[in-house]
Amino acid sequence: MLPPRWFRRVVIAPVVGVAIWIGLISAPLWLLGAAAVSPLLPGRWRPLRFLWFLTVYAALELVSLLTLFGLWIATGFGVAMSAPWSTDTHYALIRWFLRVLEWEARRVLGVRIVVEGPQPSDYHGRPLVVIARHAGPGDSFLVVHSLMNWYKRDPRIVLKDTLQWDPAIDIALNRLPSRFITPNPGAGGADVERSIAELAVGLDHDGALVIFPEGGNFTAGRRVRAIEALRLGGHSNAADQAERMVNVMAPRPGGVTAALQAAPDADAVFVAHTGLEHLVTVADLWRELPMDTEIRMHWWQVPADEVPRDDGAVPEWLYGWWERVDAWIGAHRP
């Protein structure tokens, strides 16, 4: 269970900051040790490159926490937090964080990112509802980085509430237009959809709402449970479609429908990617962190006048696109 916000600010954020500081002080010793054992282990200097990347991430987290604390003071201890200059500064901080992280992934990990689909100029002046597959935290960073640093957007993001355990994500995104939701809201599903609709209202020419309709990271077990839930709910046709899709989970149309209805002038953009599928747990970072490999992304743009908006049409349309996403992943998985 997630602690209340005051506890996360007063206790968790300072503790994490101090722990990172202590870790960074001792990082040279760990890096020397990793350099010593790297020639003895599989992979091209994998331990050293892995530890260096984690060190960079920790340093970015610490700098972000200090900057966010400084912004809290600069806004009059939060009184002017919603001022335009404050919002722009928070977006600039996130852009910098993701840009440095992506640069280090290319430089140190040897990751190559290939993007297919419309060029940034094709989206110019169009509000967007971005509908992306979800396979772990890595793809969330990649999609948001692409929107912010390549497509020059200020995204509004729908995320899992558990991501608020990360203090920098918790503080920064709670100060910006975003929604942290419970993946399985049960009876509160209507409230979640209403919250997503509120987030989508007023998307402007450089705005983009990002939603992951699967409701969680893809795993084989979750895929099977999602299909079983559809059958138990009497949605046999949707269950049959979901069963044919082996690389994605059944999408949940409620949140997508709410976003599209609240932003009637927005284009829909679907995002598929492959290369980050197995980065779900901390242990996965060591086993699956991509090195000397290629990450591929494909973006499809659907003009606003071709996007259905009513409750009855969106699910079928979404499932049709999700089959296309599934086929693309199957064809391009490393």
Q: Are residues 222 and 328 in the same domain?
A: yes
pLDDT at 321: 97
CA distances from 288 to 107, 146, 273, 285 (A): 18, 22, 16, 5
Question: At 186, is the secondary structure helix, strand, or coil?
Answer: helix
Rounded to 10°, the helix 236-244/220-232 angle is: 160
Q: Are residues 178 and 135 in the same domain?
A: yes
Please check whether residue 71 lies inside any domain of the structure.
yes
Read off the pLDDT of each residue in 180-192 and give the average, rounded to a whole number.
74
Q: Are residues 129 and 72 in the same domain?
A: no
- Per-residue pLDDT of 291-324, as tens digits, reads 777 889 999 999 999 999 999 899 999 999 999 9
Residue 279 has pLDDT above 60, yes or no: no
Q: Are residues 209 and 324 in the same domain?
A: yes
Q: Are residues 26 and 148 in the same domain?
A: no
What percent of the chain has pLDDT above 70?
A: 93
Using the 3D structure, point to which of 109, 131, 165 is the last residue of a domain: 109
Residue 284 has pLDDT above 70, yes or no: no
> Which residues, other chains included, contact 150 with Cβ-Cβ below 8 Å and sequence gap of 6+?
115, 120
Establish how many alpha carbons lie within 13 A of residue 87's alpha carbon, considering only the half-sphere containing its beta carbon.
9
Using the 3D structure, point to which of 60, 80, 109 is the last residue of a domain: 109
Give the pairing of strands 294-302 and 112-116. parallel
- Per-residue pLDDT of 71-115, as tens digits, reads 999 999 999 999 999 999 999 999 999 999 999 999 998 888 888
Domain extent, residue 199, equals: 111-334
- Per-residue pLDDT of 232-272, as tens digits, reads 988 899 999 999 999 999 999 999 999 999 999 999 999 99
Strands (E), 70-191: 112-116, 128-132, 154-160, 178-181
Residue pair 142/136 in contact (Cβ under 8 Å)? The answer is no
Please check whether residue 3 lies inside any domain of the structure.
no
The number of domains in the chain is: 2
- Per-residue pLDDT of 138-175, as tens digits, reads 778 889 999 999 889 999 999 989 899 999 999 999 99
Using the 3D structure, point to which of 62, 77, 109 is the last residue of a domain: 109
pTM for the model: 0.91
Please check whether residue 324 lies inside any domain of the structure.
yes
Please check whether residue 5 lies inside any domain of the structure.
no
Q: How far apart are CA 55 and CA 28, in angstroms?
A: 10
Residue 278 has pLDDT above 70, yes or no: no
Please check whether residue 94 lies inside any domain of the structure.
yes
